[in-house]
């Protein structure tokens, strides 16, 4: 580790702690040359494996940019997108794999996007799942409506059970 002040390569670790709910390690270091202290955060590097086999680092902002296009004209703000980006990254890190297929990144985006905005979800899904006809849209809408009905039914049942007790 290079000292950020004098660029010396000889540094010592004074303290290490788990950070970011176990997703990173925070280290307090001291330079043996200038004796200045600094902090580093070490985190597993996520790598996306593209369909072609090429790899590139996972960049949260790139994932958010794709979702932002799907959310254009929708009531979704930058804070919503930042939270979604964090959820996607957390999901990918929780998999425990350093290399994640691009397909998994798309799947990690779909679920939180569905909860955020169904229209944006349909837009994103139409590109991600390569819809080719109106029937593909109709099938996805039917799936959304069925999932929504299941959620409403479960909510209605829970409310009914509370009133009976």
**CB distance 121 to 140 below 8 Å:** no
Question: Could you give the CA distance from residue 50 to residue 48 in angstroms, rounded to a whole number?
Answer: 6
pTM over 0.85: no
- Give pLDDT, residue 82: 95
For the chain, the structural domain boundaries read 11-43, 47-131
**CB distance 88 to 108 below 8 Å:** yes
For residue 152, pLDDT over 60 is answered with no
Q: How many CB atoms neighbour CB 58 within 10 A?
A: 19
Q: Which of 63, 75, 148, 145 is nearest to 137 (CA)?
A: 145
Each residue's pLDDT tens digit, 34-92: 999 999 998 878 999 999 999 999 999 999 999 999 999 999 999 999 999 999 998 99
């Amino acid at each position: 580790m290079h000292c950020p002040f004098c660029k010396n390569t000889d540094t010592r670790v004074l303290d290490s702690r788990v950070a970011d709910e176990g997703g990173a390690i925070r280290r307090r270091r001291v330079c043996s040359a200038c004796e200045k202290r600094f902090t580093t955060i070490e985190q597993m590097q996520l790598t996306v494996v593209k369909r072609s086999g090429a790899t590139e680092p996972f960049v949260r902002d790139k994932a958010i940019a794709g979702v932002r296009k799907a959310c254009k004209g929708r009531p979704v703000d930058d804070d919503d997108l930042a939270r979604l980006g964090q959820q996607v990254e957390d999901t990918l890190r929780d998999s425990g794999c350093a290399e994640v297929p691009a397909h998994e990144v798309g799947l990690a985006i779909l679920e939180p996007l569905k909860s955020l905005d169904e229209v944006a979800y349909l837009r994103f899904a139409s590109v991600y799942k390569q819809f080719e006809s109106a029937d593909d849209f109709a099938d996805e809408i039917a799936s959304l409506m069925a999932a929504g009905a299941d959620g409403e039914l479960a909510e209605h049942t829970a409310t009914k059970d509370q009133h009976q007790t």
